[in-house]
């Protein structure tokens, strides 16, 4: 296991338009959290549109957004952009990025080629880390990104992950690691694309450690994939013991923005 640390990019916090779930400003104990696999901002229509991703996050009213499949100077597929920083700039959020693919520059003087997860936050990020998770030799590197937030004087721990897509055994090992790392952190929130449906055995360690928000407060099955005709729920928000789920819904207003639909949850961190 290898832990990498990045300083959060400090950006001015800004107010957001209210979405269908009440933003935290209406209640000092409320925190609205989003999980969104953005597919490097390439939509199902083939358009690369980071502004569209920003718009989805904005309309959600999220205080904190955990993103997966985020490019950072990765390739021309995403115009070599630092997508996490660009989204933070557009939205006025603090940001931390976890590079799970971290390759040398393609040419002298260029930047490192990176791909991974990001956490955007209205609130200051006081500490952050990215822990590499188990990987079989033929599998893509995955990680668990952690951001410790200062929310109105209280510390809240947000985790963001993207488990293996094509190996159940890797997901099982990764799920155990995620549960072990979060441990008994009571004021914890986990978001991510777990690449497994509810009840999958590889998710059992996480299910024992945390509360899956959707069955607690969501309506229906909450499918998130594929975005235009969703059939599977593989995108999650989990809450620790001192975090109470209040409401949750899948956002389907712009299904073409990514191949996943985002899920947003209102939580009580009191």
pLDDT digits (tens, 9 = 90+) for 20-73: 344 444 477 899 999 999 999 999 999 999 999 999 999 999 999 999 999 999
Mean pLDDT of the chain: 92
Q: In the chain, what percentage of residues exceed pLDDT 70?
A: 90
pLDDT-based confidence at 144, cuts 50/70/90? very high
Q: Which two tokens stand for residue 200?
A: 């999958």
Across the range 207-214, mean pLDDT stands at 98
26 or 155, higher pLDDT: 155
**50-60 vs 83-91: helix crossing angle, rounded to 10:** 50
Q: Alpha carbon 267 to chain centroid distance?
A: 15
C-alpha pair distances (Å), 51 with each of 20, 81, 83: 20, 13, 10
By residue count, the chain amounts to 270
Phi-psi region of 156 (alpha: psi -120 to 50; beta: other; left: phi over 0): beta
Q: Which of 93, 91, 71 is nearest to 82 (CA)?
A: 71
pLDDT of res. 109: 85
Number of Cα atoms under 13 Å in the Cβ half of residue 132:
15
Domains and CATH numbers, the chain: 3-268 (3.60.10.10)
Label residue 200 exposed, middle or buried (CB < 10 Å: 0-12, 13-18, 19+). middle
pLDDT of res. 122: 98
């Amino acid at each position: 296991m290898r832990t990498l640390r990045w300083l959060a990019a400090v950006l001015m916090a800004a107010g957001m338009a209210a979405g269908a779930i009440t933003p935290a400003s209406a209640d000092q104990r409320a925190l609205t959290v989003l999980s969104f696999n953005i597919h490097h901002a390439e939509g199902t229509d083939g358009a690369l549109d980071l502004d569209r991703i920003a718009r989805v996050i904005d309309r959600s009213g999220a205080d904190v957004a955990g993103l997966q499949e985020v490019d950072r100077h990765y390739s021309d597929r995403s115009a070599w952009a630092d997508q996490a920083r660009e989204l933070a700039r557009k939205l006025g959020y603090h940001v931390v990025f976890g590079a799970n693919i971290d390759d040398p520059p393609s040419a002298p003087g260029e930047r490192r080629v990176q791909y991974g997860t990001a956490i955007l936050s209205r609130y200051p990020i006081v500490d952050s880390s990215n822990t590499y998770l188990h990987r079989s030799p033929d599998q893509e590197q995955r990680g668990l990104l952690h951001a410790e937030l200062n929310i109105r004087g209280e510390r809240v721990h947000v985790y963001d992950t993207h488990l293996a897509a094509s190996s159940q055994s890797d997901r099982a090992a990764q799920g155990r690691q995620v549960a072990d790392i979060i441990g008994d952190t009571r004021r914890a929130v986990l978001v991510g694309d777990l690449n497994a449906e509810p009840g999958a055995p590889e998710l059992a360690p996480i299910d024992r450690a945390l509360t899956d928000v959707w069955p607690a407060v969501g309506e229906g099955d909450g499918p998130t994939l594929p975005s235009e005709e969703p059939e599977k729920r593989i995108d999650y928000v989990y809450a620790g013991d001192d975090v109470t789920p209040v409401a949750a819904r899948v956002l389907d207003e712009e299904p073409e923005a990514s191949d996943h639909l985002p899920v947003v949850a209102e939580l009580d961190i009191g």
